[in-house]
Structure 1
């Protein structure tokens, strides 16, 4: 049964690569993450991971032409590489592996696993749906209006999407693992908190550059064939590192309640 499950995960990963959802390295990363989650949480864990993966890519493809202008601002695009796969799925995979060695606390690990996926889903929904907002978003800490797609910016549409994305993972986790209503609330709350933490880190410590030619703020170090100028001396993390930290922080903070 174990071999069959891993073969199925490999098949899905190859299919995602063929459909240009993942790069070749992303396909390998998905095999590793998926296999680890299957070993820890069996088919139920894969179904919850699949919910994140499918819905995230679905929103990514909706009105993709409208989002095309944002490609000039972000470092990476729709095809996820191995770094992006690990940034979103590495923490859930780690929790899945740890749960094997401590079966007496399986419920706690299940909730932590669900929170880590809820945080990833919340952030992805906020990013993909929030960019469709008609109005300009505002920086969370300063309320200054900025261009859509700017890291650290929020909109009403994106914030609502983040909450729904977290709650979706929470509800499915409760149905799959027969968790309590209290655990549902914890998953929804801390999953959404992961998006808030991501936004704060995105505004404060995520590296952004000002193009010396067109003066656009972008995640790309090279823009208009020129080396950009950092917007802040204290910024040092890229988007993938911010994603990992936001998931880690929100998941660890939940231990205060669990």
Structure 2
């Protein structure tokens, strides 16, 4: 919303306009790359044939444990972040073409670093989410439902984490941190110069 308000909504090239637009665009990619990466890792990581390992200890844990990671889940998180970067890049190519600004579309073709930004946000965001999930989000095994749950109860045996943040709160904190890191990272890196 800040980006649209500040720029009037058009796509801008990263690194060539004022120092306000580029960090906001990077934060946008970071936020949604993190969200998509986390979702893909959760949904696809449970399909792994290998047992997940708790990110804080490296020990095997039951599938569905907050903070449990698998190789398949990490690959899925990177792919999810890449998908967001790719969507941003495609939008930057196609929107100017539709509006008749082919020159800007050709310039945007060189903006491939958004693919790397998205991939990194998906992977790093998923790892940060797993770290928070393993430490400040509750995980327990429910003997009645015979599965991992995120809330304590009379039939639940705690396996990891504190009952401090819910899954939604962990997701919000992680995605916001990714956005802030990319926002200030672009400023620190001097983009645009």
Length-normalised TM-score, structure 1? 0.55
**2:48 corresponding residue in structure 1:** 133
What are the ranges of 5 or more consecutive residues in structure 1 without an aligned counterpart?
1-95
Structure 1 counterpart of 2:152, from 211, 215, 221: 221
Deviation track 1:16-68 (CA, whole Å, cap 9, x = no partner) reads xxxxxxxxxxxxxxxxxxxxxxxxxxxxxxxxxxxxxxxxxxxxxxxxxxxxx
Residues 1-258 of structure 1 correspond to what in structure 2 (within 5 A)? 96=1, 98-103=2-7, 105-178=20-93, 179=108, 180-209=111-140, 211=142, 217-222=148-153, 226=154, 228=156, 234-258=162-186
Deviation track 1:125-184 (CA, whole Å, cap 9, x = no partner) reads 000000011121100121111111111000111111111111111112112124522333
1:250 shift after superposition = 1.1
Note closer, same or farther for the CA distance 1:166–1:234 as it changes in structure 2 (3 Å cut).
Answer: same
Greater radius of gyration (CA): 2
1:228 shift after superposition = 4.0
Q: Distance in 1 between matches of 2:37 and 2:128?
A: 11
What are the ranges of 5 or more consecutive residues in structure 2 without an aligned counterpart?
8-17, 94-107, 187-193
1:100 shift after superposition = 3.6
1:234 shift after superposition = 4.4
Structure having the larger proportion of residues in helix: 1
1:215 shift after superposition = 8.8
Q: Which has the higher contact order (CA 8 A, sep 6+)?
A: 2
Length-normalised TM-score, structure 2? 0.71
Do the aligned partners of 1:127 and 1:158 also contact (CA within 8 Å) in 2? Answer: yes
Query: How many pairs were matched up?
Result: 159
Note closer, same or farther for the CA distance 1:190–1:234 as it changes in structure 2 (3 Å cut).
Answer: same
